[in-house]
Structure formats: C-alpha cells, structure tokens
C-alpha cells in the first residue's frame, strides 16, 4: 500500500465493525484500522491522529449521525480535506445526494458488498495504492 493511511470505521453496529476488522486483518499489518461507534467518537479519533485518515462512516447512528459528522468535518479547516466514504444500508436517493453534496469520495451500500467485507477492504487497498491523499491542513496556532 503506497499511502498507508489509517482507516477509521465509524459504525454503531458491532457486527459490521468485527467483519471489517477480520477482513482488514487478512491484509496484514499494512492496514491500520481505527474504530468509533458514532460520529462524535469518530471526530475525536480523527482529531487525535497526527496525519490524515481514510474514513468510512455509517449514516444512521446515535449521538452524532453520519451527516452531522460530515458537517463537522467539512466545517473544520484542519479536517476539511479528509477522504470520506459513506458505508450505509440506505439506498435513498436523498441520502445519496446529501452525502455527495458533502464531497464524499464514494457512497457504498452494505448490501452490495460481500458478507465478509473482503471486497471493501480490497477497494480501500486499491484506492490507497493509486490516489494521493489531500494534505492535512495544519491547525491555526
């Protein structure tokens, strides 16, 4: 993997987190994975990272949902360039349009993925091999 960005999965479903953890573990130590159970935790994890992360965020979560997370990230100058994919069960056109309005890199519907998330992890690895991430803007001091 060329860029070796940490991957942050934000999802309140423990089964989805475990499936992703197992699938990513098959790729070896090159794929660093972080987890959060809601958008607020995800925002905290993202802000603690010294470099950019590639983020996968669910839309329907308690505390802070995926859309609220997208709003917060895009409003924060130090995080605004973060590469974010939506990973959700929603196939609603309004949700898809709203997510793309927040400049997501892609909108992935869970039912379209393999049950073990191996296709998703392969996609992430391919993405990281070929795409240069946006630099993280330093926080104003």
Confidence category of residue 1, pLDDT binned at 50, 70, 90: very low
Averaged confidence pLDDT in the chain: 86
DSSP 16-59: HHHHHHHHHHTT-TT--EEEESSHHHHHHHHHH-SS--EEEE-S
Structural domains of the chain sorted by starting position, each given as residue range(s) with its CATH number in brackets: 8-130 (3.40.50.2300)
- Amino acid 130: pLDDT: 73
Please write the tens of the pLDDT for every residue from 20-36. Answer: 888 888 766 667 889 99
Segments in 76-136 forming alpha helices (H): 93-101, 118-130
The CA distance from 49 to 89, in Å, is: 28
The CA distance from 39 to 86, in Å, is: 12
**Distant-in-sequence, close-in-space partners of 96: CB < 8 Å, separation ≥ 6:** 90, 107
Assess contact for 72 and 43: CB atoms under 8 A.
Answer: yes
109 vs 127 pLDDT, higher one:
109
Please write the tens of the pLDDT for every residue from 53-100. Answer: 889 999 999 999 999 999 999 999 999 989 999 999 999 999 999 999
């Amino acid at each position: 993997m060329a860029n070796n960005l940490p991957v942050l999965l934000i999802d309140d479903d423990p089964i989805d987190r475990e499936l992703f953890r197992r699938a990513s573990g098959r790729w070896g130590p090159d794929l660093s994975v972080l987890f959060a159970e809601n958008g607020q935790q995800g925002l905290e994890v993202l802000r603690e990272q010294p470099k950019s992360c590639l983020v996968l965020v669910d839309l329907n979560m308690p505390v802070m949902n995926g859309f609220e997370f997208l709003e917060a990230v895009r409003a924060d100058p130090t995080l605004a360039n973060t590469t974010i994919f939506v990973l959700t069960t929603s196939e609603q056109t309004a949700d898809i349009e709203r997510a793309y309005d927040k400049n997501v890199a892609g909108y992935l519907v869970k039912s379209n993925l393999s049950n073990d998330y191996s296709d998703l992890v392969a996609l992430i690895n391919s993405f990281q091999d070929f795409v240069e991430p946006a630099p993280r803007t330093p926080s104003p001091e």
